[in-house]
Amino acid sequence: MTSASHQLDATDKRILIALDDDPRVPIMMLAQQLGLARGTVQSRLEKLTAAGVLQANSIRVTPTALGYTVAASVDAQVEQSRLLDAVAALQDIPEVLECLAPAGDTDLRLRVTAKDTDHLYRVSEKIRLCPGITRTSTTLFLRQLIPYRTTGLLTE
């Protein structure tokens, strides 16, 4: 089962909203806060994890807290027959936070981070030298105006 096919019910949403407020809350305390049995919360979390609904905990660590103060987007053109090679190589670059396959004129869109602009240049070069990547274009983000969020989607 994947997150696209998993239907969240009201109990799942209550658990996820509570976790968004405090992702480190112990399961027993979470169960008490929500008026649910500990076993219910535990099994729901296991199912949500197995379904891919919950992302890895590291998503809550900001790159800035780790000294990576520069954020950018890199668009990459890829030889279509080498797409899998390019993605495999990109996975080995720790500064690549996310890789998406958008519709439109670009083959891959990467969200990357760096310690400064010189580091961003080196990261961009690592990306450009990945197998199958023929061209890149980098856009520097000046400021984050709305942080990544999903809580509003749970309350609709």
Long-range contact set of residues 1-7: C-beta below 8 Å, sequence gap at least 24: 1/50, 1/51, 1/52, 2/51, 2/52, 3/51, 3/52, 3/53, 5/51, 6/47, 6/48, 6/51, 6/52, 6/53
Query: What confidence category does residue 5 fall into, taking pLDDT thresholds of 50, 70 and 90?
Result: low
What is the location of CATH 1.10.10.10 in the chain? 10-58
pLDDT of residue 7 exceeding 90, the answer is: no
Q: What is the pLDDT of residues 88-97, one digit of tens each?
A: 999 999 999 9
Q: What is the pTM of this model?
A: 0.80
* Topology annotation, domain 10-58: Arc Repressor Mutant, subunit A (1.10.10)
Q: Is 1 helix (H, G, I), strand (E, B) or coil?
A: coil
Domain over 63-141 is classified CATH 3.30.70.920: yes
Q: Output the average pLDDT for the chain.
A: 92
What is the location of CATH 3.30.70.920 in the chain? 63-141
Residue 1 has a pLDDT of 40
DSSP collapsed to 3 states, 13-71 = HHHHHHHHHCCCCCHHHHHHHHCCCHHHHHHHHHHHHHCCCCCCHHHHCCHHHHCCCEE
pLDDT of residue 4 exceeding 90, the answer is: no
Report how far residue 127's alpha carbon sits from residue 73's, in angstroms, rounded to the nearest whole number. 12
Q: What is the pLDDT of residues 87-141, one digit of tens each?
A: 999 999 999 999 999 999 999 999 999 999 999 999 999 999 999 999 999 999 9
Q: What is the pLDDT of residues 63-76, one digit of tens each?
A: 998 999 999 999 99
pLDDT of residue 42 exceeding 80, the answer is: yes
